[in-house]
Amino acid sequence: MAFARRDEFVWQLQSRSLELGKRTLVMGVLNVTPDSFSDGNLFLDSKTATAYALRMFDEGADIVDIGGESTRPGRYEPVTAEEEQRRVLPVIEAVLKGRPDSVLSIDTYKASTAAMAVGAGAEIVNDISSFGWDAEMPSTCARLGCGVVLMHTRGKSAEWRDLPRLAPHEVLPLVKYELALSMRTALEARIDRSRIVLDPGYGFGKSFDENYPLLAHQDELESLGQPILAGVSRKSFLGRKLAEFHGGADAPLAARGNATIAGTVAAILAGAHIVRVHDVRPALEAARIADAVLAAV
């Protein structure tokens, strides 16, 4: 794979638009949950969550993605739509009160939560199921006129450890094919192409080393004709690769910062327009260097 400049897009959101491709946009992660793999229970209080969102914007985040349900592998416990909304809506409202020009994304696969979050001011619906887990989501997003992220997920969280393993050459074609099907669903629901971003879904139903051929060939997703969002931050496939430095055990979350930067830069050089990260400032600095490399191509 030779480096190549990204295609440029204008991403149409609910009330505004974002330019994609001239520079990498950084999406900060905010999990308002008790059980997320990296920051569970840290931001369950709405005041703490709001303060952290504003801090990420101060550090340079272009978007903050707010989620109220964890899909943590092996420990996934579904929550009701009502509970999810109870967690996220006060944070969305408080962030926008403090920073009215903020761009917020709601991380949900539930149509009712998407509708209420966009009604509260979120601009983007980030659906990890790629419209696969709630039949009402495509028509809801079409009606809302919001930006949409369709992320590839292979099966549900509780199934991931038992999924058949993929050979290296199988990973990218599967992701590409299934993202194309999700795109078709969105377009048939009358969601305009200008509103759609695609996410290959690192770690979601891809077991450890299956993520590396996906990252190495991520640039081939360009043929789908849409902007790409990549989220590798603190993922377990990074921790597994660092085991030799941690006595044979996966690197703990706190020790995955350097690996996250390496994976994030690789994703940008392979065509990602947006990166989803837990640590905004280091990712922003890394993205500036990767963008400079792409500008020199």
φ and ψ of 79, to 5 deg: -120, 155
Q: Are 236 and 72 in contact (CB under 8 A)?
A: no
Query: Which strand ranges, in their side-by-side order, compose the sheet holding 124-127?
Result: 196-199, 147-151, 124-127, 104-107, 63-67, 25-31, 274-277, 229-230
Report the alpha-carbon distance of residue 101 to residue 73 in Å, rounded. Answer: 34
Say which amino acid occupies 268: I
Pull the structure tokens for residue 203. 């770690």
The partner residues of 196 in beta bridges, in order of sequence, read: 148
Q: Which of 285, 178, 46, 291 is nearest to 277 (CA)?
A: 285
Q: Is 41 helix (H, G, I), strand (E, B) or coil?
A: coil
Q: Give the pairing of strands 9-12 and 17-20.
A: antiparallel
Q: Give the pairing of strands 25-31 and 17-20.
A: unpaired
Helices (H), 21-108: 46-58, 81-98
Phi-psi region of 21 (alpha: psi -120 to 50; beta: other; left: phi over 0): left
Q: Is 252 helix (H, G, I), strand (E, B) or coil?
A: coil
110 as an active site residue: the answer is no
Say which amino acid occupies 196: I
156 as an active site residue: the answer is no
Which residue out of 23, 87, 235, 241 is catalytically annotated? 235
Q: Are 191 and 146 in contact (CB under 8 A)?
A: no
Q: Are 126 and 106 in contact (CB under 8 A)?
A: yes
* Catalytic residue set: 235, 276
